[in-house]
């Protein structure tokens, strides 16, 4: 950490900072410039971060130069993790396809969508039973009934599934049936939810908030990790920018950046960022090419009657292209498409690893 003193700061001001740091057991190195003095802090950064150094007299700025996360950091765990969802891995060496309906609307639609997903090579199913919606008048999901439909369909197709949980009170219900819990973009800093989801012991899919920095996103993962659960997968799903022509701006750079900072797998959701079906396939390619460890995508048998986000869903006719696209770009990246029932490497995170 670096403390930058104002140009008018005097020795007393500098001494106060040095003294405060040494009181908590740290070292402070003073670099005196002609116009400005800077103080390098060495020691327990978590402790320094809690000190109100900004409010000390003569202090202009406090710059953090090391990362605030620990458990999910690449520095403390240099080998990339593989997270297992049922028998399906998500990790650096494979490209995992997760697919299914945006929202569970009916049993029939869910069966059709999940069969489509499986036909395209998905090894994990997705589907929303609890939907966070901007309007109280919009379809809010089927809730527990939707969860039951998903559970049954996934069992029949012999694939695990991931579904969103939107409030702490629902965590137990959802964790009882789902193989992976999703924390949505709007809830990325719903800290109580992060804690309870972490404690449920299931793998967690953590979407990046609509305007979360990469640091904040990883800190949200640290909240989950702090409960002892390291089965976390990060998901870039587009950020809010000034550009109106796309729903969100898919920040593909975030994938390699996050992969360099944490050992967690990082996947991409091209459906919610593109917002239009025409864009989704192009963004799937970009996501795999940039190095994402997987793709999560909406499919729908009849998007023109979808209750939620129809325009962005891939349709039946896209499934063959989807399978082929994932295969081609995974191959171009020297990676395998993940398959269900893959051999688990020793030491991997995941359900059986924690058992």
CB of 156 to its own copies, least distance (A): 27
CB of 352 to its own copies, least distance (A): 27
98 or 183, CB closer to its own copies?
A: 183
Residues in Cβ contact with 207 at an 8 Å cutoff, skipping those fewer than 6 apart: 182, 183, 184, 185, 188, 235, 237, 269
Distances (CA, A) of 177 to 128, 150, 180, 199, 229: 13, 9, 9, 15, 18
Q: Phi/psi zone of residue 292: left (φ > 0), alpha (ψ -120 to 50 degrees), beta?
A: beta
40 touches 32 (CB < 8 A): no
CB of 86 to its own copies, least distance (A): 28
CB of 60 to its own copies, least distance (A): 8
In angstroms, the CA 142 to CA 101 distance is: 13
170 or 179, CB closer to its own copies?
A: 170
78 or 346, CB closer to its own copies?
A: 78
330 or 340, CB closer to its own copies?
A: 330
Nearest Cα neighbor of 321 from 275, 284, 266, 272 is 284
In angstroms, the CA 230 to CA 72 distance is: 8
In angstroms, the CA 129 to CA 49 distance is: 39
In angstroms, the CA 86 to CA 282 distance is: 29
48 or 84, CB closer to its own copies?
A: 48
77 or 285, CB closer to its own copies?
A: 285
In angstroms, the CA 207 to CA 209 distance is: 6
Class of residue 338 by CB neighbours under 10 A (exposed 0-12, middle 13-18, buried 19+) = buried
CB of 303 to its own copies, least distance (A): 4
86 or 270, CB closer to its own copies?
A: 270
119 or 189, CB closer to its own copies?
A: 189
In angstroms, the CA 95 to CA 326 distance is: 8
CB of 23 to its own copies, least distance (A): 12
CB of 222 to its own copies, least distance (A): 6
CB of 119 to its own copies, least distance (A): 21
Class of residue 78 by CB neighbours under 10 A (exposed 0-12, middle 13-18, buried 19+) = exposed
Q: Residue 12, Cβ neighbours under 10 Å: how many?
A: 9
CB of 231 to its own copies, least distance (A): 17
158 or 167, CB closer to its own copies?
A: 167
């Amino acid at each position: 950490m670096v403390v930058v003193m104002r140009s008018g700061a005097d020795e007393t001001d500098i001494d106060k900072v040095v003294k405060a740091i040494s009181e908590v057991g740290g070292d402070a190195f003073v670099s005196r410039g002609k116009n400005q003095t800077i103080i390098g802090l060495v020691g327990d950064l978590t402790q320094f971060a809690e000190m109100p150094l900004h409010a000390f007299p003569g202090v202009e700025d406090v710059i953090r130069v090391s990362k605030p996360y620990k458990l999910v950091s690449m520095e403390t765990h240099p080998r990339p993790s593989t997270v297992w969802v049922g028998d399906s891995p998500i990790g650096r060496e494979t490209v995992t396809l997760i697919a299914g309906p945006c929202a569970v609307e009916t049993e029939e639609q869910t069966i059709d969508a999940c069969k489509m997903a499986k036909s395209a090579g998905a090894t994990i199913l997705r589907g929303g039973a609890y939907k966070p919606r901007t309007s109280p008048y919009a379809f809010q999901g089927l809730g527990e009934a939707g969860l039951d439909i998903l559970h049954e369909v996934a069992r029949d197709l012999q694939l695990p599934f991931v579904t969103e949980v939107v409030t702490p009170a629902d965590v137990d219900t959802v964790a009882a049936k789902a193989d992976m819990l999703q924390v949505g973009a709007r809830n990325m800093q719903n800290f109580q939810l992060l804690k309870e989801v972490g404690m449920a012991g299931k793998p967690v899919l953590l979407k990046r908030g609509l305007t979360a920095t990469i640091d904040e996103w990883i800190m949200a993962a640290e909240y989950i990790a702090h409960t002892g659960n390291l089965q976390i997968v990060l998901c870039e799903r587009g950020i809010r920018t000034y550009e109106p022509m796309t729903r969100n701006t898919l920040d593909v750079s975030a994938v390699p950046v996050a992969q360099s900072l944490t050992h967690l797998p990082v996947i991409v959701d091209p459906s919610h960022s593109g917002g239009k079906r025409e864009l989704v396939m192009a963004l799937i390619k970009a996501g795999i090419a940039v190095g994402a460890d997987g793709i999560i995508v909406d499919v729908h048998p009849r998007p023109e009657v979808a209750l939620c986000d129809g325009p962005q869903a891939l349709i039946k006719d896209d499934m063959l292209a989807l399978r082929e696209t994932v295969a081609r770009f995974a191959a171009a990246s020297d990676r395998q498409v993940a398959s269900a029932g893959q051999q688990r490497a020793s030491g991997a995170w995941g359900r059986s690893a924690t058992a």
